[in-house]
Amino acid sequence: MDGVGEELDLEDLAGIGSSTAEKLRRAGISSVKELAAISVRELLEMSELGEGKAEEATKSARELCLPKVLSAKEFLERRRKMPRLTTGSKNIDRLLGGGLEPGVTELIGAFGTGKTQLCLQLCVTVQLTENRGGLNGAAFYIDTEDTLKPERILQIAKRFGIEDEQILEGVYCFRAINSDHQFEGLREAARYIKEKSVKLLIVDSLTSHFRSEYPGRENLVLRQQRLNNFMHGLQRLVSLYDLIVVATNQVVDVPEVIPGARPARPAGGNIVAHGSTFRLWLERSKGMTRLTCIDSPKHARDTTYVTLTEGGVEDAEEEV
């Protein structure tokens, strides 16, 4: 979203006085930009505002901050200005057409394929300077599986020539113990993005709590609804802050194996598939990890190989 609305106070909006502004702030909305990104229905759920006020407030925020219509040329210019983040692997950067960009990138794969290793590596690369492909920013890490190991970040940092433990100060860790807590992590992340220079949000893993708390077909509808809310929350942060989000996802076995098809599919069904902009599938193959870009609005389906080493995720010597 463009910069308009960032310098404005909520009170600057037509029809919003100090008491309405106070109610909005209590609901966690502190800028015109955030107000513009919210629907009346959500606002009614989160705040004490009445329907008339909620409609008036969101409408005037939208009018002020959201561009009406852009030409495709303007749209392209805007996209060109967006940040790009190196993964620390030339092969993966190439697969992504030059690194990670704002949006939700999903890392899909079975246990041990290197999803967490890549997330930890990104905690290092996001802190690199721009001339090294970084964003000079910090990472916010929502860890649902207790796999965030600071020692690994230090080992990986070494490969990038960084010996200083200071690198750990640029990684904000949120250990989410259940799905409610995972939502809280998202709200905390929003606060850190505003207050610290967080440029990367990691959710590792996106689906594990939802899958264990809502097992079986009988809970499917509720599980998908909750996942949908979470994906929606991620998407909102992307559009508000041009944020780069990386979320890991497990695979589930497909009972009927269609000849030639993958015997597994990503968890979360269509809700997660539609909520992600880019989807990378990781598989172990001959001691390496093979990555396939299975979904992207602009890249062809392509494959590359990396190895998992003490230094993190490195390009495989030879692509097979």
Ligand X SMILES: Nc1ncnc2c1ncn2[C@@H]1O[C@H](COP(=O)(O)OP(=O)(O)O)[C@@H](O)[C@H]1O
Q: At what angle do helices 150-159 and 115-125 cross, to 10 degrees?
A: 60
Q: Report d(CA 17, CA 251) in Å as an integer.
A: 50
Shortest CB 109 distance to Mg ion, Å: 9
Kindly tell me which residue out of 5, 99, 103, 109 binds ligand X, with binding defined by CB under 6 A: 109
Residue number with CB closer to ligand X (119 or 243) = 119
Residue number with CB closer to Mg ion (208 or 304) = 208
Quick one: what does residue 111 bind among ligand X, Mg ion, none, with the CB cut-off 5 to 8 Å set by partner type? ligand X
Q: Residue 24: which H helix or E strand, with range?
A: helix 18-26
Residue number with CB closer to Mg ion (20 or 250) = 250
Quick one: what does residue 211 bind among ligand X, Mg ion, none, with the CB cut-off 5 to 8 Å set by partner type? none
Q: Report d(CA 101, CA 262) in Å as an integer.
A: 28
Shortest CB 197 distance to Mg ion, Å: 26
Taking residues 272 to 311 in sequence order and writing x for each that binds ligand X by CB under 6 A, - otherwise, the string is: ------------------------------------xxx-
Binding to ligand X (CB under 6 A): which residues in 134-153? Answer: 147
Q: How far is CA 261 from CA 11, 273, 294, in A?
A: 57, 18, 13
Q: Report d(CA 277, CA 57) in Å as an integer.
A: 30
Residue type, 194: K
In the sheet with 138-143, reading across from the earlier edge strand, the strands are 171-175, 138-143, 198-204, 244-249, 103-109, 278-285, 288-295, 302-309, 312-315
Kindly tell me which residue out of 113, 125, 208, 277 binds ligand X, with binding defined by CB under 6 A: 113
Q: Should residue 211 be labelled a site residue for ligand X when binding is judged by CB under 6 A?
A: no
Kindly tell me which residue out of 117, 125, 179, 296 binds ligand X, with binding defined by CB under 6 A: 117
Residue number with CB closer to ligand X (197 or 309) = 309
Q: Which residues, 6+ apart, have CB-to-CB distance to 17 below 8 Å?
A: 11
Quick one: what does residue 307 bind among Mg ion, ligand X, none, with the CB cut-off 5 to 8 Å set by partner type? none
Contact call for residues 247 and 62 (beta carbons, < 8 A): no
Binding to ligand X (CB under 6 A): which residues in 58-97? Answer: none
Q: How far is CA 101 from CA 41, 80, 133, 179, 318, in A?
A: 30, 10, 12, 27, 26
Q: How far is CA 299 from the centre of its chain?
A: 19
Sole window of 7-15, 114-122, 133-141, 237-245 interacting with Mg ion (rule: CB under 5 A): 114-122
Residue number with CB closer to ligand X (144 or 277) = 144
Quick one: what does residue 144 bind among Mg ion, ligand X, none, with the CB cut-off 5 to 8 Å set by partner type? none
Kindly tell me which residue out of 12, 111, 169, 222 binds ligand X, with binding defined by CB under 6 A: 111
Residue at shortest CB range from Mg ion: 116
* Long-range pairs for 298-301: beta carbons < 8 A, 24 or more residues apart: 298/97, 299/95, 299/96, 299/97
Contact call for residues 201 and 188 (beta carbons, < 8 A): no
Taking residues 144 to 183 in sequence order and writing x for each that binds Mg ion by CB under 5 A, - otherwise, the string is: ---x------------------------------------
Token pair of 222 as six digits: 């509720």
Q: Should residue 115 be labelled a site residue for ligand X when binding is judged by CB under 6 A?
A: yes
Can you give the binding site for Mg ion, defined by CB under 5 A? 115-116, 147
Residues forming contacts to ligand X in the complex (CB under 6 A) are 109, 111-117, 147, 308-310
